[in-house]
Structure 1
Amino acid sequence: MTAMTPRRSEPDLSYLLDHTGHVLRTRMAAELGEIGLTARMHCVLVHALEEERTQAQLAEIGDMDKTTMVVTVDALEKAGLAERRPSSTDRRARIIAVTEAGARVAAESRRIVDGVHAAALGSLPEEEREVLVRALGRLADDHLKTPVEGAGTARRARQKN
């Protein structure tokens, strides 16, 4: 550090959130990969199981562009885990339906994701776990809820469901 380097007056929250989020995502990707899924495939499966949803709705939930969503659903179909079907409420719309095999895989992927999250929180002293989750939830629902649009805007984070 040189004498010209400005002194930091606040913790580097951007680094802390970005780094821990990145490591959490890599751990999740590694574990989901063991059952042949990506995080996007997991997202589509679990949210398609919750209720009848179109490909566009699932893309919005998972923060995927149309091309990425098509590739993800194609992979799920090829694996026999989901299929495109006509909507029961709108004949013009097509929904992503999870197969029985897909439902079993989604249950396993949910256990994996919950386990990764539990391991991360379990590394903290018990009294800090709820405080961290509550504080992050408050930031996500209030001060850091809406991204600022502008030149060079960073990629949008996955939306809370």
Structure 2
Amino acid sequence: MTLPGDAPHPGDELFWLLRRTLHTMRRDVRERVDLSPARHRLLRTAARNPEPQRQTALAAALDIVPRSVTSLVDDLEAAGLVERLPDPTDRRATLVAVTGEGRAVLAEADRQRRRHAEELLARLEPGEQAELLRLLHRLVDDADPC
């Protein structure tokens, strides 16, 4: 905690600035695509796999409890972005597959995210952009995976 008169801690400032940047990017994408961050993460995770996935596999990949995946899949299914399919290897299980509409929404979200990132980076000179990216890579590439 920073007290009045104390200099901000660099780690706190880094966290706040990165969080604020990502928040504005997510908000911008959400306003244009109407997809909450949680639904976006689930949709992206499901789309990365070429085959439909069980909800338990999606929950594990997202590091959330399976019941949370159920409500997210319900919402995405109601929006026509995913569909549930019977699991051919287990009659009791269902698989989640991304629909064509879901892939189109992800593609639009990607376009919006790239556009917003380009707008942010445009505030910097080309050398500053390269330096920012170099420094962020240095922080991330050497870090343990989350």
Match of 2:20 in 1: 22
TM-score normalized by structure 1?
0.67
Matching of residue 82 in structure 1 with residue 82 in structure 2: yes
- Name the CA distance, whole Å, in 1 between partners of 2:142 and 2:64: 24
TM-score normalized by structure 2?
0.72
Evaluate the alpha carbon distance shift between residue 19 and residue 106 of structure 1 in structure 2; reply closer, same or farther with a 3 A threshold.
same
**Which runs of 5 or more structure 2 residues have no equivalent in the other structure?**
none
SS at match of 1:97: strand
Q: CA deviation at 1:16?
A: 2.5
Matching of residue 41 in structure 1 with residue 39 in structure 2: yes
Across the two proteins, how many residue pairs are aligned to each other?
Answer: 140
Evaluate the alpha carbon distance shift between residue 39 and residue 7 of structure 1 in structure 2; reply closer, same or farther with a 3 A threshold.
closer
Evaluate the alpha carbon distance shift between residue 62 and residue 134 of structure 1 in structure 2; reply closer, same or farther with a 3 A threshold.
farther
Instruction: In structure 1, give the amino acid aligned to 2:30.
Output: L
Percent identical: 30
Does the 8 Å CA contact 1:28/1:116 hold for their aligned counterparts? no
**Which runs of 5 or more structure 1 residues have no equivalent in the other structure?**
147-158
| Cα-Cα RMSD | 2.9
- Name the CA distance, whole Å, in 2 between partners of 1:70 and 1:46: 16
Does the 8 Å CA contact 1:80/1:101 hold for their aligned counterparts? yes
User: In the TM superposition, what whole-angstrom CA distance separates every residue of 1:75-133 from its partner, at most 9, and x where no partner exists?
Assistant: 10111111222456x54754321112111111111111222222222222211223322
- Name the CA distance, whole Å, in 2 between partners of 1:124 and 1:64: 37
More helix by percentage: 2
Does the 8 Å CA contact 2:25/2:116 hold for their aligned counterparts? yes
Q: CA deviation at 1:61?
A: 4.2
Map 1:95-114 onto structure 2 (within 5 A).
95-114=95-114
